[in-house]
């Protein structure tokens, strides 16, 4: 088998590139995906989002090593093993990131990736339903909408933010991220609008695009040049040849793993695994970042939450309505109100994110509180902690070693304590007077720094936003893995384009910036002129130096 371009991974960035590289019909493209079909209600029904993440058929099932600063806990580190990758198992929350995130990327050596450079790609990829005119796209493959916010608790959360003195925003993906407002979803016509539905499936109707179900074992490199991908399927090892380029889009865990299996990475580590070093790139697998979050849960005194829908009969009725009409409670992820806030004076742009949910339940759907309740998922956006991904062995089937080093920076603890206390302040506002019962979690007994730290250690969870392990930067920076055109430094005809190339993590959920990377990388791969830079100026709080609100 042979194609001009061979893409490893059909996730958020991989699906976007598969579509764009095959679009004009001049190039043949093969996408390699190990996972299976995304057909079925567990993936396509938005309200069922907690299921696919816990199903081995859809998830790689990775775990972190014991985290030293979290009492040795091993945290789940899911990644999609299915058509559409993690966009088929995620929470369907759409956040572009803040303008300053991308200006930071450029300052760190990712030339041409400032906000002015990336905003046109966000506009190209979107069809926005209800976003801010001028700032949003209206003809792209990715449909983005707001939830209906029928539950009065969503409005209570937004009003409580205003009562606490914070900003409101009509569109956090538009001019103004900071403030309380509606949350955006990648849901279209009642279905999960994954990268597979938006990009890959329409493109697979083209004769020049082919999907190959196989495990990518390594990239074949000859004389310093990527020439193909060695795959395993049906018990046999084969090679898919790439006449132009190999593009790795396999996630922040599997992209560095594949580079290392192919001899690209920290030389000493590769030699210890018995792998010949092709390019000694010490940055491969380092710079691993994520967002952590906690749930602050409150009992609700009125029976208006989703708790009443947790029984089997209600679930059956919800499922039936969704199955036949693609409507009702099953057609939302129930993340319909959000906030992006600054933690203190002197912080220029938001560094705290909120998802609000009208039920008290874990993200994975387990251990629902035995009462009507509501909760805010809250966490700091810009932790200084860094981890790494390394090989467990030279066996391509072995899971990588994932160490986040969560909470290793002292500022993380200060930030999380502030997040909890700030959430309590918001829940105490008059907007919640008609609904507020007792605090379920952390609970009124957790007040001191020590008590909050104990709660954080036991209960903090990943928001499942891993990135940074194949960092983009200047070609002369020894810790860069790819240059600003996403080319792997030291190997020709090889690129990486997914969340692993982020120099630093962006504000909010990572699906949108991952797709944007796939869109922009496609222009670099095809060597076409990038889209013209935008001259729109984002809103920065005029009080940022003197107030947190």
Residue 363 has pLDDT above 80, yes or no: no
Quote the CA–CA distance of 364 and 186 in Å, as a whole number: 19
pLDDT confidence of residue 308 = 86
Residue 358 has pLDDT above 80, yes or no: yes
Tokens of 300: 């609700």
Per-residue pLDDT band at 76 (split at 50, 70, 90): very high
The label of the residue with tokens 């909470």 reads 407
Determine phi and psi for 186, rounding to 5 degrees.
Answer: -90, 75
Give the number of domains in the chain: 2
Please tell me which residue in 143, 372, 377, 465 is annotated as part of the active site.
465
pLDDT confidence of residue 310 = 83
- Asked whether residue 314 is marked as a ligand-binding residue, the answer is no
Quote the CA–CA distance of 427 and 176 in Å, as a whole number: 24
In angstroms, how far is CA 490 from the centroid of its own chain? Answer: 28
Q: Are residues 109 and 234 in the same domain?
A: yes
Q: Are residues 453 and 502 in the same domain?
A: no
202 preceded by a cis bond (ω within 30 of 0): no
Residue 87 has pLDDT above 60, yes or no: yes
The last residue of one of the domains, among 459, 475, 490, is 459
Whether residue 120 lies inside any domain: the answer is no
Please give the share of the chain, as a percent, with pLDDT higher than 70: 99
Residue 369 has pLDDT above 80, yes or no: no
pLDDT confidence of residue 311 = 85
Quote the CA–CA distance of 142 and 121 in Å, as a whole number: 12
- Asked whether residue 97 is marked as a ligand-binding residue, the answer is no
Cα dihedral value 122, 125, 127, 129, nearest 10? -40
pLDDT confidence of residue 368 = 62
Whether residue 392 lies inside any domain: the answer is no
- Asked whether residue 162 is marked as a ligand-binding residue, the answer is no
Quote the CA–CA distance of 279 and 225 in Å, as a whole number: 11
Q: Are residues 53 and 12 in the same domain?
A: yes
Q: Are residues 412 and 506 in the same domain?
A: no
Residue-wise pLDDT tens digits, 52-63: 988 999 999 999
pLDDT confidence of residue 445 = 95
Could you tell me the CATH number of the domain that includes residue 19? 3.50.50.60
Whether residue 123 lies inside any domain: the answer is no
CA distances for 342 relative to 10, 258, 429, 518, angstroms: 35, 38, 19, 30
Residue 367 has pLDDT above 60, yes or no: no
Whether residue 43 lies inside any domain: the answer is yes
Whether residue 96 lies inside any domain: the answer is yes
pLDDT confidence of residue 77 = 97
Average pLDDT over residues 352-373: 81
Range of the domain at 62: 1-114+192-287+467-530
Helix (H, G, I), strand (E, B) or coil at 517: helix
Q: Are residues 100 and 226 in the same domain?
A: yes
- Asked whether residue 549 is marked as a ligand-binding residue, the answer is no
Quote the CA–CA distance of 173 and 536 in Å, as a whole number: 13
- Asked whether residue 22 is marked as a ligand-binding residue, the answer is yes
pLDDT confidence of residue 366 = 60
- Asked whether residue 546 is marked as a ligand-binding residue, the answer is no
Q: Which of 299, 107, 50, 80 is nearest to 196 (CA)?
A: 80
Q: Are residues 276 and 369 in the same domain?
A: no
pLDDT confidence of residue 94 = 98
pLDDT confidence of residue 309 = 86
Q: Is 465 a catalytic residue?
A: yes
Average pLDDT over residues 211-240: 97
Tokens of 56: 């081995």
Average pLDDT over residues 100-107: 98
Q: Are residues 70 and 217 in the same domain?
A: yes
Quote the CA–CA distance of 218 and 258 in Å, as a whole number: 6
Could you tell me the CATH number of the domain that includes residue 307? 3.30.410.40
């Amino acid at each position: 088998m042979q194609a001009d371009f061979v893409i490893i991974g059909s996730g958020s960035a991989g699906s976007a590139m598969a579509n764009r590289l095959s679009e004009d019909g001049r190039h043949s493209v093969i996408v390699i995906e190990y996972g299976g079909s995304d057909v079925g209600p567990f993936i396509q029904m938005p309200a069922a989002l907690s299921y696919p993440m816990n199903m081995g058929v859809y998830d790689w099932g990775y775990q972190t090593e014991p985290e030293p600063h979290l009492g040795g806990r091993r945290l789940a580190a899911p990644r999609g093993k299915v058509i559409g990758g993690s966009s088929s198992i995620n929470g369907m929350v759409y956040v572009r990131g803040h303008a300053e995130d991308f200006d930071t990327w450029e300052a760190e050596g990712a030339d041409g990736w400032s906000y002015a450079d990336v905003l046109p790609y966000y506009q190209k990829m979107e069809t926005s339903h209800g976003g801010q005119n001028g700032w949003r796209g209206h003809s792209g493959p990715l449909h983005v909408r707001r939830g209906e916010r029928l539950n009065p608790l969503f409005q209570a959360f937004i009003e409580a933010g205003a009562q606490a003195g914070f900003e409101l925003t009509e569109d956090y993906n538009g001019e103004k991220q900071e403030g309380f407002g509606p949350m955006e979803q990648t849901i279209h016509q009642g279905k999960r609008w994954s990268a597979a539905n938006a990009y890959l499936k329409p493109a697979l109707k083209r004769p020049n695009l082919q999907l190959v179900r196989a495990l990518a074992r390594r990239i074949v490199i000859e004389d310093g040049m990527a020439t193909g991908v060695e795959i395993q399927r049906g018990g046999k090892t084969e090679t898919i040849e790439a006449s132009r380029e190999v593009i790795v889009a396999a996630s922040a865990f599997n992209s560095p793993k594949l580079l290392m299996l192919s001899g690209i990475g920290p030389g000493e580590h590769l030699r210890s695994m018995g792998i010949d070093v092709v390019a000694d790139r010490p940055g491969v697998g380092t710079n691993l970042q994520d967002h952590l979050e906690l749930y602050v849960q409150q009992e609700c005194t009125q029976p208006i939450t989703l708790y009443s829908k947790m029984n089997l009969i209600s679930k059956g009725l919800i499922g039936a309505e969704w199955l036949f009409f693609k409507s009702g409670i099953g057609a939302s992820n129930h993340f319909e109100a959000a906030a992006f806030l600054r933690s203190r004076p002197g912080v220029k742009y938001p560094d705290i994110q909120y998802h609000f949910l009208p039920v008290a339940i874990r993200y994975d759907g387990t251990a629902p509180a035995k009462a009507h309740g509501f909760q805010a998922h809250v966490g700091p956006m810009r932790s200084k902690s860094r981890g790494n991904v390394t090989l467990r062995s030279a066996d391509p089937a072995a899971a990588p070693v994932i160490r986040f080093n969560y909470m290793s920076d002292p500022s993380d603890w200060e930030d999380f304590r502030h997040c909890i206390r700030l959430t309590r302040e918001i829940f105490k506002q008059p907007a919640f007077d008609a609904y507020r019962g007792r605090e379920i979690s952390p609970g009124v007994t957790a007040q001191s720094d020590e008590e909050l730290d104990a709660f954080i250690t036991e209960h903090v969870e990943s928001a499942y936003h891993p990135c940074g392990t194949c960092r983009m930067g200047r070609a002369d920076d020894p810790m860069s893995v790819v240059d600003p055109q996403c080319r792997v430094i030291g190997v020709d005809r090889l690129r990486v384009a997914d969340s692993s190339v982020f120099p630093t993590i962006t504000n909010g959920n990572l699906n949108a910036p991952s797709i944007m990377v796939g869109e922009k990388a496609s222009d670099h791969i095809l060597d076409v002129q990038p889209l013209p830079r935008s001259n729109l100026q984002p809103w920065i709080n005029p009080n940022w130096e003197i107030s947190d609100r």
